[in-house]
């Protein structure tokens, strides 16, 4: 049975799409799958989203905004007692160890690497916002760093690489070693 159109439909759609992406990947998810998963008619789905790309973009925005929001909130709560080790532990945990989030992140990056230039451009804009937020924490924690922007960029590269390793279920690496190296680089 289809649910009625309402202001709560978009969050329901996005939550369902995230779950579908985490299990099937982006390419194997259809608008029909999404409508069924949400308990919405396809007409209601089209009322909110004209294309699958529109939905995927909103999932990207939600994904990065949630990650960024949690991160900024955490930084604000701990700005006076933040150590480099704790900062890096939290970054690696939230960005890598939350498996469904990590898996969805890889699927979204993969979709943006396809020939869809519009989606790629929108993803890069959101990614740039995330890097700017990460830079705030780096500047706070590694105040003595000569190049905090490069350090924030390096952290993003590390996170993406660690996410890939996590999704591929590669043998794990002792993250405390990475934390020690990054800490030294931040000086």
Give the tens place of pLDDT for each residue, 123-136: 888 888 888 988 98
Q: What is the DSSP letter of 98?
A: S
The model carries a pTM of 0.73
Q: In terms of DSSP H, where are the helices of 25-147?
A: 31-38, 42-48, 52-77, 84-92, 99-112, 117-141
Write down all domains in the chain, each with its CATH number in brackets: 1-50 (1.10.10.60), 54-185 (1.10.357)
Please check the confidence at residue 3 and state whether its pLDDT lies above 70: no
Confirm if 74 and 95 have CB atoms less than 8 A apart: no
Banded model confidence at residue 1, pLDDT cuts 50, 70, 90:
very low
Banded model confidence at residue 97, pLDDT cuts 50, 70, 90:
low
Instruction: Give me the pLDDT at residue 9, please.
Output: 79
Give the lowest-confidence range in 90-99, 125-134, 175-184.
90-99
Percent of the chain with pLDDT over 70: 91
Q: Is residue 175 within a helix (H) or strand (E), and if so which, with residue range?
A: helix 175-185
Closest CA to 49 of 71, 3, 77, 17: 17
Give pLDDT tens digits for 10-52.
888 998 998 888 788 788 889 999 999 988 888 888 888 988 8
Average per-residue pLDDT in the chain? 81
Average pLDDT of span 53-62:
85
Largest CA distance in the chain: 59
Please check the confidence at residue 2 and state whether its pLDDT lies above 50: no
Instruction: Give me the pLDDT at residue 83, please.
Output: 85
């Amino acid at each position: 049975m289809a649910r009625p159109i309402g202001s709560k439909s978009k969050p329901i759609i996005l939550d369902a799409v995230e779950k579908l992406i985490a299990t099937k990947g982006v390419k194997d998810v259809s608008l029909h799958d999404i409508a069924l998963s949400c308990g919405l008619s396809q007409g209601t789905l089209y009322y909110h989203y004209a294309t699958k790309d529109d939905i995927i973009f909103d999932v990207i925005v939600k994904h990065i905004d949630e990650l960024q929001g949690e991160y900024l909130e955490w930084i604000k709560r701990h700005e006076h007692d933040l150590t480099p080790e704790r900062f890096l532990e939290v970054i690696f945990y939230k960005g890598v160890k939350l498996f469904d989030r990590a898996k969805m992140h890889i699927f979204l990056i993969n979709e943006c690497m396809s020939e869809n230039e519009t989606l790629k451009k929108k993803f890069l804009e959101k990614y740039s916002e995330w890097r700017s937020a990460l830079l705030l924490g780096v500047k706070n924690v590694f105040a003595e760093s000569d190049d905090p922007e490069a350090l924030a960029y390096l952290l993003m590269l590390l996170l993406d690489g660690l996410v890939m390793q996590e999704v591929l279920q590669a043998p794990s690496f002792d993250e405390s070693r990475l934390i020690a190296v990054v800490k030294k680089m931040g000086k």
